[in-house]
Amino acid sequence: MAPRRVNLLPATLEAGRRARRQVFAIGAAGVALVSVLGVVYALQNVRLRNERTKLEAQQSQNAVLRAEVAQLADFAALERELNQKIDLLSGLTKNEVRWSILLSNMSLVIPSDVWLTNLSGSVTAQTGARDDNEQLAVLGTIQLNGTTLEHIDVARWLTRLAGVDEFALPYLSLSTKATIGSTEVVNFNSSVQLSQDAFRRNQRAGERRV
């Protein structure tokens, strides 16, 4: 038969041992919990330092970007000023009559046997569109006096003027025979009205140019 173990210690002593074991277990669990909390704190502290480093780097980058934006603001102000000047120039020149273009176009159509003795122009800008007869509203008149050899040459001159886009309603007020020395000639007085195409804004490549 197996020997039987008999506990002869008092019950109070056994209870004390169990209490000490429980206290030891609780203490060990507390130490383990503190260790875990210490590890978690350390990890969170490292993470916090990393985030602070990223924040400082981002703040430094933001400072650089703000400095660049401040520099670009000067260019934006210059661009606005340039656009304002362009708008002002466009407003001042949109109703401008480019006489150099008109005279150049006239020189292309004048017959070789027609000589101009006087040219004068006046501008009276008018607003409005085409009327019922599709005629452009006029904005000025050019008076053209000259000399040619025959009356038919005067008619050809008026026909040529009618072919210029910036001109409208060529008109003959005088065509009379005369002599220059022993040569018989025809003196004429004519006029032509300026159409809306004479405005800079209505001409092809109407930007300001030399």
Q: Within this chain, do residues 132 and 85 fall inside the same structural domain, yes or no?
A: no
Q: Is the pTM of this model over 0.75?
A: no
pLDDT in tens, 101-135: 888 888 889 998 999 999 998 887 555 444 444 44
Q: Within this chain, do residues 66 and 89 fall inside the same structural domain, yes or no?
A: yes
Measured CA to CA, the distance from residue 208 to residue 114 in angstroms comes to 32
pLDDT in tens, 137-162: 557 889 999 999 999 999 999 999 99
Q: Is 178 exposed, middle or buried (0-12, 13-18, 19+ CB in 10 A)?
A: exposed
Question: Taking the C-alpha atoms of 46, 52, 56 and 61 in order, what is their torsion angle to the nearest 10 degrees?
Answer: 90
The sheet carrying 167-180 orders its strands as 115-123, 140-148, 183-194, 167-180
Q: Is residue 4 part of a domain?
A: no
Q: Is residue 37 part of a domain?
A: yes
Q: Is residue 137 part of a domain?
A: yes
Task: Find which of 25-34, 66-75, 134-143, 190-199 is predicted with most confidence, using mean pLDDT.
Answer: 190-199
Helix (H, G, I), strand (E, B) or coil at 83: helix
How many structural domains does the chain have?
2
The answer to whether residues 139 and 125 touch, using CB atoms and an 8 Å cutoff, is: yes
- The pLDDT score that the predictor gives to residue 208 is 39
User: Where among 71, 93, 115 does a domain terminate?
Assistant: 93
Q: Is residue 179 part of a domain?
A: yes
Strands, DSSP E only, in the chain?
Answer: 115-123, 140-148, 167-180, 183-194
For CA atoms 173, 177, 178, 181, give the dihedral sign.
positive
- The pLDDT score that the predictor gives to residue 7 is 54
Question: Looking at residue 198, which CATH number applies to its domain?
Answer: 3.30.1360.100
Which single residue is written with the structure tokens 């220059």? 180
- The pLDDT score that the predictor gives to residue 94 is 61
Helix (H, G, I), strand (E, B) or coil at 117: strand
Model confidence at 32, in pLDDT bands (50, 70, 90)?
A: confident
Q: Within this chain, do residues 197 and 106 fall inside the same structural domain, yes or no?
A: yes
Q: Is residue 53 part of a domain?
A: yes
- The pLDDT score that the predictor gives to residue 31 is 78
Q: What is the mean pLDDT of residues 42-69?
A: 85
Q: Is residue 3 part of a domain?
A: no
Measured CA to CA, the distance from residue 123 to residue 171 in angstroms comes to 17
Domain containing 190 equals 99-202
The answer to whether residues 168 and 182 touch, using CB atoms and an 8 Å cutoff, is: no
